[in-house]
DNA sequence: ATAAATATTTAGGCAAATCTAAAAATATGT
DNA sequence: ACATATTTTTAGATTTGCCTAAATATTTAT
């Protein structure tokens, strides 16, 4: 399987996570930053290989085999991200590009030993779960910070947008995974929020709050 | 630069190490396990990019830029080999294939941090020198064991053949880099040798002796 | 319900990297 | 030195993954 094929499979998998039963050609084209006609070409090839179901004009859906393959690529991607952060001291906004390359290295032994070296991590530096050898992964209760009511608290467990710009913004305001975030007040006018992180109080826009996942805490 | 182009550049570099001023199309085709006509196509492209000198029917020679690029790829390959052995406990006969893939990952930061993680190693698991960031590498006095006279001693510092079969053979007879090898006697008939490694005495064929490098020791 | 807008596929082309078969240049042997 | 053998290059084809432009199917709106 080529890198390009793997990237398509991964792209379809991610779009499917959004709840869609079937992924349209144009949605996939946008995700892959390519043209719909190129997508049509590729999905025909992947359908022939049994990795996805495709009927003309009906969009695509991964087969079991395709989904399994996607999980393997995602596992590799996330493990490499952990490696880069934990072992090579990369910042969390610097890992994606490199992991995009490393995820295509083929060697089961490499992946399994890397997993062991990193102590079988369950989440990557952005809070996304890492599938195990069998493709299983932990899920945890999480809500967008923007969906949390005033006076509630949550532990920051992940980001929705993992672009470098957003991650650097979080760094700047010292918001990191594991922090407890308390919602002090919500502004209904612009949907901005007053929050407290540790001892620091700050005001964040809706755009920020709607890209941060927290695990709600009782009381 | 594509992986394929990098592999050609690397192949030419290695062939040039053998002392040849100019590398023929057919020698390169054999090295790359491809056909001479494919080589002609590729070297034309590489010549256009300024990575090598090529005149029809005259063979090829790397430019400064080409050689610099080759050294970078070789640096990455060998660093990854050290990583696989030191950090992931790969055996020395299991690293080549995976390193062939990893050597094409593009990220200067990755390479430099990997180098630091490994404590700036100067030699890879097969005893080959690792170029530094500037392409410089240590050379050390080494001779083929087969060229050592009887009653001489040397420290095993490298292998010429790094095929899995040969490396496994060495494992089987507990010959490893760093061992002191003493030549007890040479058989002129079949050029086999009686050697002593640590406390063990063994007889090795010329084929083995001519693929093991040693650093000759005085007296 | 039918026309207009949108989405998707087809057709034909291009670049990279390979191949085979044929042509051209170089090297070798007597 | 000249014919033969070998090496190298050229020509034309294939596959992957992409493109543009045109054709076709589907969806939407009146």
Query: In this predicted model, what pLDDT tens digit does every residue of A67-79 receive, in sequence order?
Result: 999 999 999 999 9
Prediction ipTM score = 0.93
Q: Which residue out of B86, B109, B164 would a mutagenesis test of the A interface target, given it has the greatest number of A Cβ atoms within 10 Å?
A: B109
DSSP string, A30-86: HHTTS-HHHHHHHHHHHHHTTSEEE-TTS-EEE-HHHHHHHHHHHHHHHHHHHHHHH
The confidence score (pLDDT) of residue A19 equals 83
Mean pLDDT of A189-199: 96
Give start and end residues of each alpha helix (H) in B20-121.
25-31, 36-48, 64-86, 96-102, 108-117
Mean pLDDT of A165-191: 96
Query: Percentage of residues in chain A with pLDDT exceeding 70?
Result: 100
Instruction: For A24-45, write each residue's pLDDT tens digit.
Output: 999 999 999 999 999 999 999 9
For the cut 80, the answer to whether the pLDDT of residue A219 exceeds it is: no
A161 Rama class: left (phi>0) / alpha (psi -120 to 50) / beta: beta
The confidence score (pLDDT) of residue B209 equals 97
B119 Rama class: left (phi>0) / alpha (psi -120 to 50) / beta: left
Q: Is the CB of B25 under 7 A from strand D?
A: yes
Q: Which CATH architecture fits B3-62?
A: Orthogonal Bundle (1.10)
Q: Which nucleotide is nearest to B33 (CA to C1')?
A: C18
Q: For chain A, what's the residue count?
A: 219
Contacts of residue B3 in chain A, CB cutoff 8 Å? none
Q: Compute the distance between CA of residue B102 and CA of residue B82 in angstroms, rounded to an integer.
A: 12
CB < 7 A to strand C: residues 79-138, chain B: none
Is the Cα torsion angle B90, B96, B98, B99 positive or negative in sign? positive
Q: Count residue pairs from A and B with Cβ separation < 8 A.
A: 39
Nearest chain B residue to A105, by CA: B101
The confidence score (pLDDT) of residue A196 equals 97
The confidence score (pLDDT) of residue A18 equals 85
CA of A41 to C1' of D21 (A): 16
Residue intervals of chain A classified under CATH 2.30.30.90 are: 143-217
Contacts of residue A90 in chain B, CB cutoff 8 Å? 109, 113
For the cut 90, the answer to whether the pLDDT of residue A179 exceeds it is: yes
**Which strand (E) or helix (H) includes residue A201?**
strand A200-204
Q: Which residues of chain B have pLDDT under 50?
A: none
Q: Assign domain B143-217 to its CATH superfamily.
A: Ferrous iron transport protein A (FeoA) (2.30.30.90)
The confidence score (pLDDT) of residue B59 equals 94
Strands (E), A69-165: 143-144, 153-159
Residue A154: both structure tokens together: 């949550």
Residue that has been written with the tokens 């290695």 in this structure? B14
Nearest chain B residue to A94, by CA: B109
Q: For chain B, what's the residue count?
A: 219
Which residues partner with B180 through β-bridges? B155
Q: Compute the distance between CA of residue A213 and CA of residue A93 in angstroms, rounded to an integer.
A: 17
Residue intervals of chain B classified under CATH 1.10.10.10 are: 3-62
Confidence of residue A187 (pLDDT cuts 50, 70, 90): very high
Q: Which nucleotide is nearest to B40 (CA to C1')?
A: D9
CA of B3 to C1' of C23 (A): 31
């Amino acid at each position: 399987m080529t890198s390009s094929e793997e990237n398509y499979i991964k792209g379809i998998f991610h779009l499917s996570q959004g709840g869609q039963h079937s992924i349209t050609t144009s949605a996939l084209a946008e995700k892959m930053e390519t043209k719909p006609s190129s997508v049509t070409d590729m999905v025909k090839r992947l359908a022939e290989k049994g990795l996805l179901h495709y009927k003309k004009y009906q969009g695509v859906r991964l087969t079991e085999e395709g989904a399994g393959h996607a999980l393997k690529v995602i596992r590799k991607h996330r493990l490499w991200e952990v490696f880069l952060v934990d072992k090579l001291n990369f910042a969390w906004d610097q890992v994606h590009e490199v992991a995009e390359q490393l995820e295509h290295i083929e060697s089961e032994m490499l992946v399994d030993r890397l997993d062991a070296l990193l102590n079988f991590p369950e989440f990557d530096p952005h809070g996304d779960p890492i599938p195990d050898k069998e493709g299983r992964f932990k899920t945890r209760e999480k809500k967008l910070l923007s969906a949390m009511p005033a006076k509630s608290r949550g532990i920051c467990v992940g980001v929705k947008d993992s672009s470098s710009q957003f991650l650097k913004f979080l760094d700047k305001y010292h918001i990191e995974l594991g922090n407890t975030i308390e919602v002090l007040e919500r502004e209904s006018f612009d949907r901005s929020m007053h929050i407290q992180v540790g001892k620091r109080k700050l005001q964040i826009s809706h755009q920020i709050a709607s890209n941060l996942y927290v695990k709600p805490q009782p009381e």
